[in-house]
A and B are shown apart, each in its own frame.
Chain A
């Protein structure tokens, strides 16, 4: 069973702080990694994707990938109340099936 694990939280940070969201995955052959944000009652929307080891930055968001440790994270700098949502880690499980497996999500609350 190929799995994606996330801390379910909730994670609570003050406004302006750095929020750190973590994800581990079991399939060493995975090549593509995604972070989705889902507001309550809404559909998941892509925040970032990362394919290579290291960091990838986009505005206040940084994705970090370490394939050797099978670990991917998302950092949100200068957190805003509007960042309060559930963050879903998704990993492409390859080997021919080409499907995304989602973690159970981490609920983030940014307190004003």
Chain B
């Protein structure tokens, strides 16, 4: 059974397009996260939701909009994609907050042309 899953695994798109990435966890965790890992492999948090409520919103362009329909799902919608958005986006979940172990999904590799 996959604990944290993401779709799609790969996403190639043109600049200016809008795209979404979906994440689901079946661990019963309360908190979910979106991270961005750039070409230099630096992993940085973007958003965190606890039981559908936004907890962390880092300095991320407002073209990025997370949405949590329930505590098992956290989706990421990106408007007007730019070249600099090319990265690997990881979803993660944990039982409570950042002090607990986080489990990562397989990642979505986004390439903006």
Contact = CB atoms under 8 A, between A and B. Distances in A.
A38 B73 CA distance: 24
B56 A99 contact: yes
Given A43-B107, A45-B104, A88 B43 contact: yes
Chain B interface, >50% SS class: loop
B42 A104 contact: yes
Contacts of A86: 41
Contacts of A12: none
Contact of B90 (A44, A92, A105): A44
B4 to A, nearest CB: 8
B66 interface: no
A58 interface: no
Interface string B82-113: 00000000100000011111111111000000
A99 B45 contact: yes
Contact of B98 (A43, A100, A105): A100
Chain A interface, >50% SS class: strand
A93 B98 contact: yes
> Chain A contact residues (Cβ within 8 angstroms of B): what range?
20 to 34
Nearest to B42: A104
A97 B41 contact: no
Given A86-B41, A104-B42, A43 B90 contact: yes
A71 interface: no
B45 A100 contact: yes
A98 B97 contact: yes
Interface of A: 31-32, 34, 38, 42-46, 49, 86, 88, 92-94, 97-102, 104-105
17 contacts: A31-B99, A32-B98, A34-B101, A42-B107, A43-B106, A43-B107, A46-B102, A46-B103, A97-B56, A98-B56, A98-B97, A98-B98, A98-B99, A100-B102, A102-B43, A104-B42, A105-B41
